[in-house]
Amino acid sequence: MTSGAWNESIPGVGTFFVGIDVAPGRYRCDDAGGGWWVRFAGPGGGEPVGMWPLPAGGTEVEIEPTDFAFETHVGAYWRRIAPPRRPGDGRSAEPRPVADPALRAELDTLVASRRPLLWLAPLTVLGLGLVGSPLLGSLWLIGLGMLAVLVALGTPSVSLDLRRARELERRRHRYLTPEEFDGPGRALLVRVQAAVDAVRDSQVNREGLLDAVDNAVTLPRQEWEIALVLARQSKLRREQEEMAEEAPLPEVEAALRPLREKLDVSVEAVTRRIEALERYAERARAADEALAAHRHLESLAAKAHEYDELLADTVRDDLALPAIERLTEQGDALVRTLRERLAKAAEAGGELPPPA
């Protein structure tokens, strides 16, 4: 599998796992003519949805949070132009798969170590052509040369995709799919991912204004560690429900009661961690609002000289000065507000428990 990017772009050729290689959202490719893509939707990717051939020029695709993988064969990169749609658009919220943040780099290293070996196939074909050409003639060499080109173009992509898929299967314990969470676990995971996405997609984070927290490292680690806990809680809740159904006896209920109490304590603890993430996301949103207002004020300040000239031409200086001073005071107040909200956002990020 070609190396993916858990950021804002996807290479044009390869197969990429959602939540491991690529982030869900809307992507655009400016040169997709004649290419194709497939979204592997449904449990385990068992419900593929694709488009072929793609029209000339630009095209867009919506990679859903619940998709398993995305396969693409186009002539240019895909770039992420919008985050996933929110539940407010009429759809129920569903969590996306979650992976150990170290998994992608590990898979990339394994695939990269195999990449030079893939060129042995076309070189072997070409070598056979050179050996056989004295006996079979130039047409034999031309034919095998064309075959070598086809093998060189096709083998690396397909072989690396298969290699990465096999290595991922061997590391099945390093990622979680939505099917591994029960109802309460999914609901909490949706809250986690909404908070993570809100911080990642905030303008202050994109511009590096939340420099007190390394969100590119911290947020994926927080999401993974919380997801691990939620998956274990889901597993234990299912087991408790099965025991209660199989043996609906007072003795069994009495034995389950302390186990449920311990599980409740665990749920309360992880919920507090999720609430800390949500506070961080809310502070990032507030900082975004202040930043937007600050940018608007800068735009207005650039035009302030026109208003100064107008006031100077139409009223006495003692009337113009207060108006000008009010504009300056508003600008200073907004700058202070922006700084305070950035500081609060960074403080909320610092409240997150350190990754294990």
* 237, two tokens: 């809740």
- Indicate if 138 and 192 belong to the same structural domain: no
**Lowest-confidence range among 1-10, 88-97, 118-127, 281-290?**
118-127
- Whether residue 351 lies inside any domain: the answer is no
Q: Which of residues 160, 175, 190 is at a domain's end?
A: 175
Could you tell me which residue, 269 or 4, shows the higher pLDDT?
A: 269
* Number of structural domains the chain divides into: 3
- Indicate if 154 and 185 belong to the same structural domain: no
Residue 156's domain comprises 97-175
pLDDT score at 235:
95
pLDDT score at 4:
38
d(CA 6, CA 82): 14
- Indicate if 194 and 292 belong to the same structural domain: yes
pLDDT in tens, 35-82: 889 898 876 667 888 888 888 888 999 998 888 889 898 989 999 888
pLDDT in tens, 105-145: 887 787 676 554 444 445 554 555 555 555 544 554 455 45
- Indicate if 53 and 149 belong to the same structural domain: no
- Residue 355 preceded by cis peptide, ω within 30: no
**pLDDT, average across residues 159-187:** 81
* 234, two tokens: 């889901």
d(CA 162, CA 86): 33
Q: What is the three-class DSSP state of 77?
A: coil
Q: How far is CA 227 from CA 18, 166, 178, 187, 329, in A?
A: 16, 23, 10, 11, 47
- Whether residue 102 lies inside any domain: the answer is yes
- Whether residue 131 lies inside any domain: the answer is yes
**Lowest-confidence range among 143-147, 232-236, 248-252, 299-303?**
143-147
d(CA 72, CA 15): 6
Q: Which of residues 175, 207, 232 is at a domain's end?
A: 175
- Whether residue 356 lies inside any domain: the answer is no
Q: Which of residues 302, 323, 342 is at a domain's end?
A: 302
- Indicate if 113 and 160 belong to the same structural domain: yes
pLDDT in tens, 288-323: 888 888 787 777 777 767 766 766 666 555 555 565
pLDDT at 236 over 60: yes
* 190, two tokens: 């949706």
- Indicate if 29 and 134 belong to the same structural domain: no
Residue 354, Cβ neighbours under 10 Å: how many? 8
d(CA 68, CA 140): 44
- Whether residue 252 lies inside any domain: the answer is yes
